[in-house]
Structure 1
Amino acid sequence: MAPGSPSHRRNLSVTDEEPARTGHRRNRSSVDGTKYKDGTWSSKNDKILMGPYDYVHEQPGKDIRRQLIHAFNAWLQVPPASLAIITKVVTMLHTSSLLIDDVEDNSVLRRGIPVAHNIFGTAQTINSANYVYFLALQELQQLKNPAAIDIYVQEMLNLHRGQGMDLFWRDTLTCPTEDEYLEMVGNKTGGLFRLAVKLMQAESTTGKDCVALVNVMGLIFQICDDYLNLSNTVYTENKGFCEDLTEGKFSFPIIHSIRSNPSNHQLINILKQNTKDAEVKRYAVQYMKNTGSFAHTSRVVADLRDQAFALIEKIDATPKINGSGDGQMVRAIVEKIVESTLSDPNAR
């Protein structure tokens, strides 16, 4: 009977096989699974995960949220340690949300440099942004204030609700009404502004309620941003020429222009193309001028500015913290936000 034949294998004794099994036991892996404990992490690995975030964070932005926190603190007088945590959290959330926005909008530039996902890849960029969302929550726990966690959860939900509707309208080519758009902005852009001020109020003992004001400021900020995206040369250098048209985004001036003449489908068809053609974009901008959409946007911004000024005066009328004019810095921020929009010749 030949070795290796079926009959030979059937006649092998236990003793014949034992060396093989014994040898296997001698060569068993020495991996110790118990040493991979929860929380094992290194600064080297952390730097890898933070790469996309750090890339954008290191580029200077408008820094409007840090200025906003400083200005509102004239009213709220948050203890320095708490204020530092809140400022850090808001910065982390804002920067990480930019990473996600750029992926979802298929953007090319951010703050004048290539977007993070074109450097690090989409998957790493999304993971980095999500990682920082939770680092921010971890940072917030240092306040030892249960209300802070509730505020964080609620406003992060609002932010994603607003972003979700914005994406839905874009991807289904559904033009929202002006009211629907403003509601979305209140959730999306207003959410991060509101989060900052609500956290400050949770750590404040002055009793000042600034939420109504910050809601109006969120609307002003987004509508001005929409306007400048279609008209401002500095914006073009930082993000690209009329990027909202390439994204197919229903921004405030675009919504007004489409709805001013629903039977004319030119603008909505331009959005559908996601065009990068500069001449087509210039045509779209001229079309919006002809429908009075820039002038309308400017009037809405001026009206919201006046509402913000009235709310500043109302808050200032409550007991003073630093003497008269506690709201002067907030007023200056509002004026700075609206300046380029209200002074633009296209608005006339």
Structure 2
Amino acid sequence: MRNMEENTNSELKFEKEILAPYTYLLQIKGKKVRVKIADAFNHWLKLSDEKLREIVDTVDMVHIASLLFDDIQDSTKLRRGIPAAHRVYGIPLTLNTSMHVLFLVMKRLVELHPEAADIYATEFLDALRGQGADLYWRENFRCPTVQEYNKMAQQKTGRMFTLGLRLCQLFSDYKADLCPLALQLGLYFQIRDDYCNLKQQEALEEWPSEDDKQAVTEDSYCEDLTEGKFSLSIIHAMGTPEGEEVLNILRQRTEDIELKKYCVALLEKSGSLAYVRSVLEDLNRTTRAEVARLGGNPQMEAVLDEMESWKD
């Protein structure tokens, strides 16, 4: 009996060690808007606080596990002010940890509800398709159409919202289809995130000290340009006189801050950033209209108010 207890304790300790990249990321304050969106949907679903938190925490595990391999795919140096997990723990262990957590989620969902694992497989697979399309365009330097980009954003980001929503609806009497709203929020969220990456509003607001602000500026200023990412503003710029210059800069995957600042100036000059701002305003307006059609939701309206901070 003593040997069995010692083996069990040893396994638990070892599991803690091999999950270190995951627990390392837990120290980061994530985007609270994701939790607020879940709470807003619960205005309609009316789950108990305990059940809602259980599902939100589970989906958050998926999100954090995804960040682990996202940062490897993007050669990310910093994740919200601290070194990316793979730079601390190495790529092999970080990849393994990501897969480990994703299967821990599967195990948890099998125990949660008979239909939960199938929902997880369906929604997360579509999210991976979106991520794959984004990577394919970047790695093959192929500029997508606006329609292709929108589809990718709804898959990559929107499906993480529909995953939590569909899991919640397993325990709710409210059965109206809220997935179109969730996918619209995902599209809005992704376009907004890409826009803010270029304008650096959110990144600079995260840090209280001037030293921290300088670190963010040097190591993560306009990361999407360094990654060679085809965001909506880049796609729009391809149809303008500034498009060739923008494309040449994007091809370099530069870390030169001055060159990236020049690229942002080109995107402003071309009207591409103004175009994205108009898209964001339209998405906010149409999303509010959908919320109203569903009977209104003060919490969701508050989320949409907060997401308009890109205007500041």
Normalised TM-score (structure 1): 0.81
Q: 1:65–1:90: 8 Å Cα contact kept in structure 2?
A: no
Shift of residue 141 of structure 1? 2.1
1:58 deviates by: 1.4
C-alpha displacement of 1:40? 9.8
Looking at structure 2, the residues matched to 311 and 298 of structure 1 have their Cα atoms a distance apart, in angstroms, of 20
CA RMSD of aligned residues (A): 1.8
The alpha-carbon distance between structure 1 residues 177 and 261, as it changes in their structure 2 partners (threshold 3 A), is: farther
User: What residue number does 1:346 align with?
Assistant: none
Q: For residue 205 of structure 1, what is the aligned residue in structure 2?
A: 173
**1:232 maps to amino acid:** Q
What residue identity is the alignment partner of 1:280? L
> How is 1:1-348 mapped onto 2 (pairs within 5 angstroms)?
42-143=11-112, 145-235=113-203, 237=213, 240-261=220-241, 264-316=243-295, 327-340=297-310, 342-343=311-312
User: Which one is further off, 60-69 or 297-306?
Assistant: 60-69
Identity among equivalent positions (%) equals: 38
Deviation at 1:208, TM superposition (A): 3.3
- The answer (yes or no) to whether the contact 1:248–1:271 under 8 Å persists in 2 is yes
Counterpart CA distance in 2 for 1:162 and 1:283 is 29
Structure index of larger Rg:
1
What SS is found at the alignment partner of 1:203? coil
**What are the ranges of 5 or more consecutive residues in structure 2 without an aligned counterpart?**
205-212
Structure 1, unpaired ranges of 5+: 1-34, 317-324, 344-348
Q: 1:233 & 1:213 partners in 2: Cα distance?
A: 26
Q: Which residue of 1 aligns with 2:208?
A: none
Higher helix share: 2
The 3-state SS of whatever aligns with 1:146 is: coil
The one-character-per-residue Cα deviations of 1:115-164 (angstroms, maximum 9, x if unpaired) are 00000001111111111101111111232x23222210011101110011
Partner of 2:209: none
| C-alpha displacement of 1:207 | 2.5
> Are 1:217 and 1:308, in contact at CA under 8 Å, matched by a contact in 2?
yes
Q: Write the deviation string for residues 59-87 of structure 1: whole angstroms up to 9, x where unpaired.
A: 11222222211111111012444323211
> 2-side partners of 1:233 and 1:307: how far apart?
24
The answer to whether the 8 A contact 1:182-1:219 is kept is yes
TM-score scaled by structure 2?
A: 0.89
SS at 1:175's partner residue? coil
| Contact preservation (8 Å) 1:193, 1:218 | yes
State the number of aligned residues.
294
Poorly superposed stretches of 4+, deviation over 2 Å: 79-82, 206-209, 236-239, 259-262
Amino acid in structure 2 at the alignment position of 1:300? V
Question: What's the CA shift for 1:41?
Answer: 6.8
**Partners of 1:83 and 1:234 in 2: how far apart?**
27
* 1:99 to 1:64, Cα distance in 2 relative to 1, 3 A: same
Aligned partners of 1:86 and 1:140 also within 8 Å: no
Structure-2 separation of matches of 1:96 and 1:41: 24
Letter paired with 2:185: M
Which stretch of the first structure deviates more once superposed, 129-138 or 229-238?
A: 229-238
1:210 CA drift (Å):
1.4
CA distance in 1, matches of 2:262, 2:105: 43
Post-superposition shift, 1:234? 4.0
Question: 1:186/1:234 Cα in 2 relative to 1: closer, same or farther (>3 Å)?
Answer: closer
Secondary structure of the structure 2 residue equivalent to 1:173 = coil
